[in-house]
Structures are given as structure tokens and as C-alpha cells.
Amino acid sequence: MDAKALTEETYHLILIMKKITLLSLLAVVACQSPTNEAEPNATAFALDNLDTNAAACEDFFQYTSGGWREANPIPETEVRWGEFNKLAEANKQKIKVLFEEVTKGSYEKGSDEQLIGDLVTSGMDSTSRNERGTAELSSYLEEVDQVVSLEELFALMARNKFAGISGPISVYVSTDAKNSNAHALYVGQSGIGLPDRDYYLKSDEESAQLQQKYRDHISAMGDLLESPIDAQEIYELEYALASAMKSRVEMRDADARYNLMTQVDWQNLAPSLPIEAFMAELSLFASGPELATEEVVNSSPEFYSRLELVLATFDLAVWKDYHKWHIIKGASSALNDALEIQDFEFYQKTLNGKPKMNPRWKRVQGSTGMLGQQVGHLYVKRFFSEESKAEVEQMVENLREAFRGRIDQLNWMTPETKVKARKKLDAFTYKIGYPDTWKDISDLEISKDSYFANMKEMQHYFTKENLQKLDQPVDKSEWGMGAHIVNAYYNPLNNEVVFPAGILQPPFYNPDADAAINYGAIGGVIGHEFSHGFDDQGSKYGPDGNLENWWTDQDKSQFDSLTERLASQYDAYEVLPDVHVNGHLTLGENIADLGGLTLAYYAYQNYKSTKEVAPVDGFTDDQRVFLGWAQVWQSNAREEYLKNQVTTDPHSPAQFRVSGPVSNMPEFREAFGCESGNNLKEEGTEIIIW
Ligand SMILES: [Zn+2]
């Protein structure tokens, strides 16, 4: 469901996810035949959560979560807190127990238990970590000192890519968006230390203060390493990189991101950029020093064109300081307490408003993301029931059937395009729970000794694994997320929806709840992921996961005008005084929320068919579909976090994930008997996309 879960995933996963442009968050489970239909459990939706002073038709978010929000203040170690986070927290507690077990036992080298146990042991060993201090980073910084040319520096940056250190050139292997059975080498824009280019480009007073705090942070980190670096110069270089970047909204455009070019064409964009020196270090080839491909897919040619000027503006000394800063930044959670605290002070407290650092066990657990497959394996062995897998499978098919019905009745789409949409919908595959086969990484070297060395070893292992895929066929059975993760995604390149075991629990799927609640919650999430295949970007991919146009011009233009109206609606939403949702950044997610809740509603209608369902706690079953969706989004958030979210997160803040979709649903108006309401569109003006 959101960016937070993603950041806890590993570097390796992030590489994959970058390609999953619509990766979503959310999702999950379902219920085919809720068990206690006759006597639903009252806690399926607790009435205490309501704010009965608010009216459902006026402010459905406040109405459904006002009581919850009063009773659930944000813990000091969190930036936002909701039902979603509570589930994620419960999962962390379960994994904590698993980790405590594997750190105590003795296991075969290379087994999941050995890898995780030794990694966690090294991370929890605060005595050794503090004794070593920052000494293990010294050789990295000394290497930079010895560099005498830009060519050498970029070659070093490429070698340090294997240590997880980022720079201006982003390179990774992923499925070729125009040939989904093969891999392509992608290059893109990167290399800034603030979360988005907009943090550099804004000039209001609050932004200027934040920029100063960032420079102070760079200096403080340099001081801790006893490695003087010029924060002002580094900032100016990053500012120039940020200015060269395309915006997040521009980067969402799947067509604009696909620019197949030769390495020579790439070089011509930035003649002074040492591309050859950089690429030569990457060993993108199983055998020999030549690139396995001479072509790259460049997601931001604009960035490389503008980089030429950046290269001419800054001298080698600044570039060297810049790279040192990123070496230090990349190691901030793997060395001593002093570094970790300083990093927390800026990235968590200042940028996101988090008052207090998480305990060590949670920080170390967060750093096991690169072993996500192995953690997921331990998790499902202990905590996942095959029964829920079967139930969710049935729910997914019910949602697909509802989507077929929606496509058939659309009045804005011609029969010709409907046939194509159906074809894509029928081709959707799904993964539920956990992978059929578990990946063997028993040759990974992890020991109880050095946490820092373990982190570098994993970065190296998974970066190499990613690059070596270039000349291998695509393994469509691969998972982009650990099975324990409370999240879900749609991958347009596989045309698949994926629901890990972690999210198949309340509030998403509650076996004790009435069917209407489960359809609104889990059903809404499944519908959300399906709808990503038909959002403004997902709809550019065909049934086989290739970027190809299956629309007539007329239908495409109808679709675009509907989605533009939705973008305008969300642009008007005010999160804080003068802070608005970015309707184009969040467009894909907002289409998926609207589509998801609509599909959930109709899947429920199919499910109950002609049965009469008695009200529960005074709410009709149709009303409870909407309560189920709203319950997932009950939450509080810190102001700093919200400001960060609207700049960087493709998901709208929780309140608009509730009020946005219901405002466009005549089905909601009817269920609650609304004649009018602040949150509702005038009758007949609703934006109905799917
Ligand atoms: Zn999504």
C-alpha cells in the first residue's frame, strides 16, 4: 500500500520494482464464502470507529474513521498509523520471534536459517559495531582520494554500484517492455540525496530551510567520518542533477520512458560523460569484456543531454566529494550508532516528522529486505494456511468476472476496443501467498562477524545477479516481493496480480466477517490491482505484457478525457493549507481505487445474487461494502510525512482514497440515500471509468 513498505524492500527488489511502474500497493485477499454469514462477528467493523457527528454523505472518511483516529494516536516511532500499519506491525512481531529462533540455532551453511540468523546476529551486535566505528568505510573513501580523472571516478562509481552506492548513472536489467520474454538493459536518471528533484527546485522559505538542513546533515556526516567534504559544493552539484531530471509525473509515462538506443547514441547525448569507463566495470557479460548488448533502453535521454552542462560546470574535486557523500550515506545504517542517529535525525525526523527512532531489532529487520525471499519462506512455513490461498483464488476470479461485466456495459468504449480489453483481462495471471519454488542463494557468504561486510556482500551478490539476467530468458514465476510483506502489486510486464501471504489477514481478509465487509476490503484491493492493468499507464500494455497500443484513437481519446477529469478532481484536494494532491502523479492509483471499489461492489452483487441479506449493526450489506473499504484506510499521519507523500508518493493520502472513489459512485449515493453531499459529485456528473 505504500512507499514505506517499498523502502523496506531491498535494493534488488527496488530494481525490479522500478520497472513495475504501476506497482501498487495494496492488495489482497479475499473471501469466497465468508463463514459466518448468519451471525457475522460484530468486530468486522467496530461501531466505535465511527464519528457519528459527521454525515456519511458529507465526509465519508471522517464518518468511518473519526472514532478510530481519536483512539489511535500515532506512536512516536511512526510517521503515520492506520489499520494497515497495525497489520504490518503484527507481522514484524511474528518475524521478530522467527529471527530470535534462528539466531540461537546452528544451521547448515547457505540455508535460509543460517543466512538470516547470522545477518541478524551481526546487526544486533551493537558492541562490535560501535567498536569498529566507521573504520570499514575508510578504504572506500581512500579509493576516491586516489582518483585523478573523471574517467577513473566513473569507473569507481561503477565498481561501487556493486556495493549499493548510487550515482548519476542508473543501470539495471529488467524485462524488455516491448518484448516481455526477454531482458533489456535500462539506463536512467539518479544520483540525488533528497527524495525528489522538487526538494531542490522549490524556493519558498520552508523549502530553503530544508535545503539548509540537508547541507548541515551532509557536513555532520562528513565530520563523523573525519572526512571533510564540502556540503555546499555537493549540494550545488546535486541541484544541477535535480535540474537535469525529468519530473516524477513525466517519468510515469511508459511510452516516453522507452527509448531504445545504441551505446553510441547514448554517448552522443553527453559526450563528456565517461560511459565507456563506467560500463566496462559492470561485467554485464557472462564471458568476456564486451557488452552482451550494444543497446540500452534510456528512460530519460533529457537527463543525459543536460548532464553535459553539469559535467562542464563542476571540477573533479567536487565530483569526488559528491561520491564520498554517497558512499557515507549508503553505509549510514550499517556502521555505528552515531552515524545511524545522524541519518535518522535528517531523513526520518526532519523530512518525515518521526520523533523517535525504532528499536534496533526493528531497524535490523528492515535491513533484511534483500533476503526477502528467505524471510518469506520462514514466515509462510509458520504462519500461512493453504485454506486462505484457495479462498483468495476464488475471490480473484469473482473480481475478474465483475470486471468483464463492467467492460460490457461501458457506454464510452466501442465494441472493437471492448474485445481487446476483454482479451487482456482474460490473460491476467495471479500469484497468491508465496512462490512455487524457492530461490537457491546458498552460495551467498554471510557471517556473524561484520554487519557492514554482510550488507556489502548482499549488495554485490544481488546486483551481479540482476545484471547477469541480461542474456537470460524472463522467469515469469519470479516474485518481486517477499511472501511476508503486507502489500500487493500489479506487474504490467507479466500482466499479473500478486498477493503475498502477509496481506491475506484482517483488515483485508477476515474469515469471521460478513461477505460485504470482505468484498469492500480485500475485494477492493484485488479490484485495485486489476484496475492497474487498465489505468492511464497500465492500459498501454497488451495481454502479453508488451508496450503496444490496443486502443482505437476514438476510445483512447474518450479514456484520456475521463482520466484528465479525474486528475483535476484530485488536484483540487487540499491535504494541508496550500498543500494539494498532485492529480497527475497519483492518477494511476486514483483510477485503480475508483475501479477497485466499483468492481468490489459489483462482485458482491454477483455473489449475493438474489439473496436477501439482513442488515448488521443497522447497516445494509451494500453499505457495508463501503465500510469495508473505508476501514482499510482508517489512519492518522504526521504533517511532515504528508508533505513528503504528496511530492514523492503516487498514492493519494488515505482520506482521498476513501472520499475520492465514493464521490464518483452513484452506487454509494444509493446505498446511503444521499441527496447531496460535500464529497459527492452532482448526480449525473460522476466520473465513471471502469
Ligand atoms: Zn496501486
Encode pLDDT of 82-119 as tens digits: 999 999 999 999 999 999 999 999 999 999 999 999 99
The answer to whether 514 and 96 have CB atoms below 8 angstroms apart is no
How much distance in Å is there from the Cα of 177 to the middle of ligand 1?
Answer: 19
At residue 441, the 3 state secondary structure works out as coil
3-state secondary structure 194-252: CCCCHHHHCCCHHHHHHHHHHHHHHHHHHHHCCCCCCHHHHHHHHHHHHHHCCCHHHHC
Cell 534510456 locates to 298
Q: Which three cell numbers stand for residue 320?
A: 569526488
Beta bridge partners, 498, equal 431, 489
Q: How confident is the model at residue 387 (pLDDT cuts 50, 70, 90)?
A: confident
Per the CB < 8 A criterion, the answer to whether 36 and 514 are in contact is yes
Percent of the chain with pLDDT over 90: 88
**Ligand 1 centroid – CA 26 distance (Å):** 6
User: Per-residue pLDDT for 566 more than 80?
Assistant: yes
Rounded to the nearest angstrom, the distance between the alpha carbon of 159 and the centre of ligand 1 is 35
Of the ranges 207-221, 383-397, 401-415, which one carries the lowest mean pLDDT score? 383-397
Reported pTM? 0.93
Cα–chain center distance at 403: 25
> Mind listing the pLDDT tens digit for each residue in 602-630?
999 999 999 999 999 999 999 999 999 99
Q: How far is the CA of 486 from the centre of ligand 1 (A)?
A: 13
Query: What's the pLDDT band for 276 if we cut at 50, 70, 90?
Result: very high
The Å distance, Cα 250 to ligand 1 centre, comes to 18
Average pLDDT over residues 210-239: 97
% the chain with pLDDT above 70: 92
CA of 518 to the centre of ligand 1 (A): 18
Q: What is the pLDDT of residue 331?
A: 96
CA 133–ligand 1 middle distance (angstroms):
41
Q: 629 is written with which cell numbers?
A: 473499504
Cα of 244 from ligand 1 centre, angstroms: 28
Ligand 1 centroid, distance to 134 Cα (angstroms) = 40
Give the pLDDT confidence of 302-345 residue by residue, as tens digits.
999 999 999 999 999 999 999 999 999 999 999 999 999 999 99
Cα(682) to centroid(ligand 1), Å: 27
Q: Do 279 and 217 meet the contact criterion of CB atoms below 8 Å apart?
A: no
Q: Mean pLDDT over residues 178-194, rounded? A: 97
User: What is the Å distance from ligand 1's center to 22 Cα?
Assistant: 6
Ligand 1 center to 592 CA (angstroms): 6
232: buried, middle or exposed (CB in 10 Å: 19+, 13-18, 0-12)? exposed
Q: Sort 415 into a burial class: Cβ within 10 Å, 0-12 / 13-18 / 19+.
A: exposed
Closest of 24, 632, 575, 116 to residue 377, by C-alpha: 116
Q: Specify the pLDDT at position 679.
A: 83
Q: Write out the E strands in 472-565.
A: 489-491, 496-500
User: Are 388 and 396 a contacting pair, CB within 8 Å?
Assistant: no
Write out the three cell numbers for 257: 520512458
| Per-residue pLDDT, 30 | 30
Determine the pLDDT at residue 290. 52
- For residue 23, how far is its CA from the centre of ligand 1 (angstroms)? 6
Task: Say yes or no to pLDDT of 412 above 70.
Answer: yes
Q: Where exactly are the structural domains of the chain?
A: 3-95+388-431+503-672, 138-327
pLDDT at 14 over 70: no
CA–centroid distance, residue 453 to ligand 1 (Å): 35
> For residue 135, what are the contacts with CB-CB under 8 A and spacing of at least 6?
none
Centre of ligand 1 to C-alpha 6, Å, is 12
> Of 29-43, 393-407, 532-546, which range is least confident?
29-43
Q: Which three cell numbers stand for residue 493?
A: 510486464
DSSP codes, 543-604: TTS-B---S-HHHHHHHHHHHHHHHHHHHT-EEETTEE--TTTTHHHHHHHHHHHHHHHHHH
Ligand 1 centroid to Cα of residue 489, in Å, is 7
Ligand 1 centroid–CA 632 distance in Å is 14
- Write the Ramachandran bin of 229: left for phi over 0, alpha for psi from -120 to 50, otherwise beta: beta
Contact predicate 501/487, CB 8 Å:
no
Are the folds of 3-95+388-431+503-672 and 138-327 the same?
no
Cβ contacts of residue 441 below 8 Å, gap of 6+?
Answer: 110, 115, 373, 374, 461
Question: Among 31-45, 217-231, 552-566, whose mean pLDDT is lowest?
Answer: 31-45
| pLDDT value of residue 293 | 65
Per-residue pLDDT tens over the stretch 470-519: 989 999 999 999 999 999 999 999 999 999 999 999 999 998 899 999 99
Give the relative orientation of helices 231-244 and 205-224 as an angle to the nearest 10 degrees. 130
Using the predicted structure, report yes or no on whether residue 195 has a pLDDT greater than 90.
Answer: yes
Average pLDDT over residues 419-442: 97
* Residues 138-327, CATH architecture: Orthogonal Bundle (1.10)
Which superfamily does CATH assign the domain made up of 3-95+388-431+503-672 to? Collagenase (Catalytic Domain) (3.40.390.10)
Q: How far apart are CA 86 and CA 73, in angstroms?
A: 12
Q: What is the pLDDT of residues 338-355, one digit of tens each?
A: 999 999 999 999 999 999
Cβ neighbour number for residue 127 with a 10 Å cutoff: 8
pLDDT for residue 5 is more than 50: no
- Centroid of ligand 1 to alpha carbon of 369 (angstroms): 21
Distance from Cα 20 to the centre of ligand 1, integer Å: 11
541, β-bridge pairs: 547
